[in-house]
Every structure is written in structure tokens, then in C-alpha cells.
Amino acid sequence: MSEPVRRELRDHGVLVLTLDRPPANAIDEGLLESLEAACEEAASDPRVRAVVLTGAGRFFCGGFDLGSSRRDETATRRLGEIYREAHLRLLELPKPTVAFVRGHATAGGLVLVLACDYRLGVASDWKLGLNEVAIGASFPRVAMEIVRLRLAHARASELVLGAAIYPASEALRLGVVDELLAPETAEATVLRRAARLGAFPAESFAHAKEGLVGDAAARVRAETPADADRAAAIWSADESRAARSRQREKLGMRRGG
């Protein structure tokens, strides 16, 4: 079985990480572990000057896998730990990170987009949103800190509390992407922009980035196990389970196991 995060080192030290877990590149333990390992290796590999994160197929990432088997308390806590560590690795990676969004990015998938320093989207028919509230999911602290770090408060409130799904044409207004690119030139533009960022003196870039993301990362690390358990418990509330059951029905999904 292939890795759920593919790695390809391109010209000028640009490492392309492609989420590849069909059909929606949904988040589970395997994808998170693969992403964390890829980020750890990228941070220590002197050949890598910048990282591009993208998704295979029609999705960048569709968020948590709602079709996975129900986890017990131990497995749920472990998933939370893996989620936190993988996102911190991406957020704090001491090299430029560029999200290349050419497919749907919803819920936790959009959080992965926002964890990147620079975000470029394709002007096409993909959709985006933070619809956790609508499906009875909670935001892990690391996810909320990433949202708060990247988005203006009014836009974060619109996305988080409104829990709507938007067309890609709204991505600029919402602050999710820095630019929407023409489909025919998008990939070349993304690689060129990543190479430009990667050409900066590495120590200078890493120090400046730490200054921008360090406070948010520190708040994540200050989370207690009790805090994490309270957030995880929201998934088990009756209304939350009913909302996710309706969502699975809407998507034609079955719970695994």
C-alpha cells in the first residue's frame, strides 16, 4: 500500500507533499503519521528549501474520515495526540510552506491549508468551509489556534460559527488563499513562488517564522489532557452523533467496522 502522503523533490529544493488517500484524502491516523514524518524529514534535509502541500484528485482534503470505525477512549486520545503533533510539525516547519489548493478543502482539510505560510488556489469549481459545528465536531485546540492565527476575526467567525460551505470564488474574500490562479499556469506558478521563498537565507526565514507562529504553538502546548478530553467529548453528544449520521447519509457513507 502506498503512503497516504506522497513526496517528490522538485527543482530548486521544492518538496511537493501530496495527500493521496482516495476518495477525499480524509484525515485518519495513517495520514497524520505520514504527514508528520514528511514534515520532520523536510525540516532536517538540507536539500529541501521549501515545501508545497497539495491533494490528489478532486480533493485537497475533506477533513476527518467520518466513515471510520468508532474509536474507544484510548484510541480517541491517541488520535488527538497525533493530530496535534502533525499540525504543529507543519505549522512550525522552519522552511517555507505553500498550500496548493486545486480541490475541495473542508473542515480539517481547510485547517491544513491554513497551517501553511502561503496559500494559492486554482480558480475552478472546488469548495471550502469549516463546517465542524454543523456536523457536531469540535475544533482541537491546534486547529482553532491555526484558524485564529491566519484569518481576520470577522472571517474566522463567519467560517467557524456559520459552518457554511463556499465556492472557491469566495476564498480570497475570506482570506483563505492569497491568490487564485489560472488553471493552466497554476502549478508552474506555485513551484516558482515556493522556489523564491526557498531561496531566502534559511536561518533568517526560520527565525522570522518562529516569531510569527511561536505564540500560537505555545498555547497549543499549554493544553492540558483535561482540556483535550472536554473537546473530544463533544463528538459523543447525542446531537453531535445525530448530525454526523445525517452527514454520512447525505454523502452515501457507512461507518467502517
Give catalytic residue positions. Answer: 132
Helix (H, G, I), strand (E, B) or coil at 186: helix
- The residues with which 12 forms a beta bridge, in sequence order, are none
Give all strands (DSSP E) within the chain, no chain letters. 5-9, 14-19, 50-55, 59-61, 97-101, 104-106, 118-122, 127-129, 166-167, 179-181
DSSP string, 231-257: HHHGGGSHHHHHHHHHHHHHHT-----
The two counts, helices (H) then strands (E), for the chain are 10, 10
> How many whole angstroms separate alpha carbon 194 and alpha carbon 179?
14
Which secondary structure element, helix H or strand E, spans residue 85, and what is its range? helix 73-92
